[in-house]
Chain A
């Protein structure tokens, strides 16, 4: 009986909710009972993000020194192991440079989001280093690259056409990642990060499987994620060719011995071009590719608009707006409330988001067209190389090729001679 009375009391007191007071005022105890304190574990110490940034900068500097000055593969390997342990297992992957590009995109479209210092530094530092020393971040600092680098067992060369086709994926992935981050829907690149689940030792099964498959493939195809998916690698591709100091296979002059021919597991080593060739035919192809670019971009814009706009319905804002709409329709609340407040701000927000999706679809389509057209143009432009050259954009600075150069061996022999004498 008392129970029912109390329930009755509860329901009588319900309207009090509207006034913002407790339904059941906190009691005044007659015994000397004291309220337990709300103890919640503190966050990581405040200085830890700064330590992370400092370690990142130090690791980048060390990588540049080891690759360019010491020319030591052993040094790179040691740093690789450190990165797996610190940036991978200790920091558990987040925030990483690859993901940070989404934070940057999100902060550009959302004024209320202040980009945290750690995310900004992880985004900028590797790019700044690439301007001077090439992709030393990829060489030994990025935990995702490091995890793949250590499993490389017997590299095979991919046929050029496959390499070119798969090489387009990072550009498209970058476009999609920036698009959804800018829309504020979700961080695609983080969600489909194949190795972070490994570093956390916990995660969704499909991502653990994906990571495992990539590592298995990575035993034979060098760094599949870095070369054929990594969106941050695209940004590094753009900055690395400007590098002041580049990775060169030979320490002094190339003797064209061809011993380094198969040294690069990542397809970043290009042989000398044959002398002569059909110049006329090449020019025709280039003109065709230049004409195709605007056509591809126009097609892309149309396709992007058609493909991306329907995705709006999966956007959290749209889902929430629809849930509220059905709820209001069920309870009939909307008819009562419309007189006072014309349109719920959530509906306005949803409408705005829909327009953002339409615009984003067009921009994404333009980007896809630009990437495809640009690739066609790049394939049609003839390049001349008189010796084996590293492709600064694609070189991951892993220092594997140094060991195959006889000039390098000669240098090392002289060095030890000087040291011993």
Chain B
């Protein structure tokens, strides 16, 4: 080791001070934030969703950066009434209560209707066919139990986890909120 110590110039000293301060700020900020979630994801709050009432098309189907949208219809069977005349499945005043396309709300035939026992029918969503148009959700929410609702599906095939959700910006009801990544769904458990 040499005894000669190079004198620190003003510029170097300033640089050292600023670097030290910068690292302190960064470390402090990370320390404070350590309590926050590792990450957040976007989700539709079903209680706020208005199914884009009054608009020609639901934003959830059209505004997503993915085609088809990462938004899909989800069915909470626990609060479903298993109606024979399901207003989510059938158009208003259907010709007949059968699975004919002309009777259905769903434009892609994504809802499967199965007879359980008189007078109950089970309705199951085929997520691969659903485009998130909210037609069934609107029917069910307006006249039924509201057991059909929209959710952003979080897996690699659906939501790309955009930092700024394109649908959240377009949503007229501001129903799309950030939720912790560890609990990415907002499931309806009761009728409101």
A interface vs B, CB < 8 Å?
3, 6-7, 10, 14, 17, 20-27, 29-31, 33, 35-36, 38, 40-44, 46, 49-50, 92, 94-96, 99-100, 102-103, 113-121, 124-125, 127-128, 131-132, 186-187, 190-191, 196-197, 200, 202-204, 239, 242, 244, 316-317, 319-320, 323
B interface vs A, CB < 8 Å?
15-16, 18-19, 22-23, 26, 29-30, 33-41, 65-67, 74-85, 87, 93, 97, 116-117, 120, 122, 124, 143-145, 151, 153-155, 158, 160-164, 166, 169, 171-174, 178, 181-182, 184-185, 187, 190-192
A-B CB proximity, top 5 nearest: A24-B81, A187-B164, A41-B155, A190-B164, A114-B36
B117 → A minimal CB distance (Å): 5
A26 engages B160 (CB within 8 Å) = no
A320 engages B173 (CB within 8 Å) = yes
A187 engages B74 (CB within 8 Å) = no
B185 → A minimal CB distance (Å): 5
Q: Which of A27, A116, A118, A239 lies in contact with B81, CB distance below 8 A?
A: A27
Cα of A116 to Cα of B161 in the assembled complex, Å: 13
Cα of A190 to Cα of B160 in the assembled complex, Å: 13
Cα of A119 to Cα of B37 in the assembled complex, Å: 10
Cα of A197 to Cα of B38 in the assembled complex, Å: 24
B169 engages A41 (CB within 8 Å) = no
A22 engages B81 (CB within 8 Å) = yes
B181 engages A46 (CB within 8 Å) = yes
Query: Which chain B residue lies CB-closest to A130?
Result: B22
Cα of A17 to Cα of B146 in the assembled complex, Å: 11
A92 engages B160 (CB within 8 Å) = yes
* Chain B residues in 8 Å Cβ range of A317: 174
B174 engages A43 (CB within 8 Å) = no
Q: Given the known A-B contacts A43-B182, A118-B38, are A38 and B155 also in contact in the complex, defined by CB atoms under 8 Å?
A: no
B145 engages A35 (CB within 8 Å) = no
A94 engages B153 (CB within 8 Å) = no
Q: Given the known A-B contacts A3-B85, A116-B37, are A31 and B116 also in contact in the complex, defined by CB atoms under 8 Å?
A: yes
Q: Which of A38, A40, A316, A320 lies in contact with B169, CB distance below 8 A?
A: A316
Cα of A244 to Cα of B171 in the assembled complex, Å: 47
Q: List 14 A-B contacts (CB under 8 A).
A: A6-B84, A23-B191, A26-B82, A31-B116, A33-B117, A42-B154, A42-B184, A44-B181, A49-B38, A117-B34, A117-B37, A132-B19, A190-B164, A191-B166
A186 engages B164 (CB within 8 Å) = yes
Query: Which chain A residue lies CB-closest to B65?
Result: A203
A191 engages B76 (CB within 8 Å) = no
Query: Which chain B residue lies CB-closest to A94?
Result: B163
Q: Which of A20, A35, A103 lies in contact with B191, CB distance below 8 A?
A: A20
Q: Given the known A-B contacts A113-B178, A120-B30, A121-B30, are A23 and B169 also in contact in the complex, defined by CB atoms under 8 Å?
A: no
B184 engages A43 (CB within 8 Å) = yes
Cα of A239 to Cα of B22 in the assembled complex, Å: 9
* Chain B residues in 8 Å Cβ range of A14: 143
Cα of A96 to Cα of B122 in the assembled complex, Å: 44
Q: Which of B19, B172, B173, B181 lies in contact with A242, CB distance below 8 A?
A: B19
* Chain B residues in 8 Å Cβ range of A24: 81-83, 144-145
A120 engages B29 (CB within 8 Å) = yes
Q: Given the known A-B contacts A24-B144, A40-B74, A121-B30, are A116 and B160 also in contact in the complex, defined by CB atoms under 8 Å?
A: no
Q: Which of A41, A114, A186, A316 lies in contact with B37, CB distance below 8 A?
A: A114
A127 engages B22 (CB within 8 Å) = yes
Q: Which of B39, B79, B190 lies in contact with A116, CB distance below 8 A?
A: B39
* Chain A residues in 8 Å Cβ range of B191: 17, 20-23
B67 engages A33 (CB within 8 Å) = no
A207 → B minimal CB distance (Å): 9
A316 engages B38 (CB within 8 Å) = no
Query: Which chain A residue lies CB-closest to B185?
Result: A40
Q: Which of A35, A96, A319 lies in contact with B78, CB distance below 8 A?
A: A35
* Chain A residues in 8 Å Cβ range of B29: 120, 124
Query: Which chain A residue lies CB-closest to B187?
Result: A38
Indicate the member of A22, A127, A239 with the most B CB atoms within 10 Å.
A22
Cα of A24 to Cα of B82 in the assembled complex, Å: 8
Cα of A200 to Cα of B70 in the assembled complex, Å: 13
Q: Which of B38, B65, B66, B117 lies in contact with A50, CB distance below 8 A?
A: B38
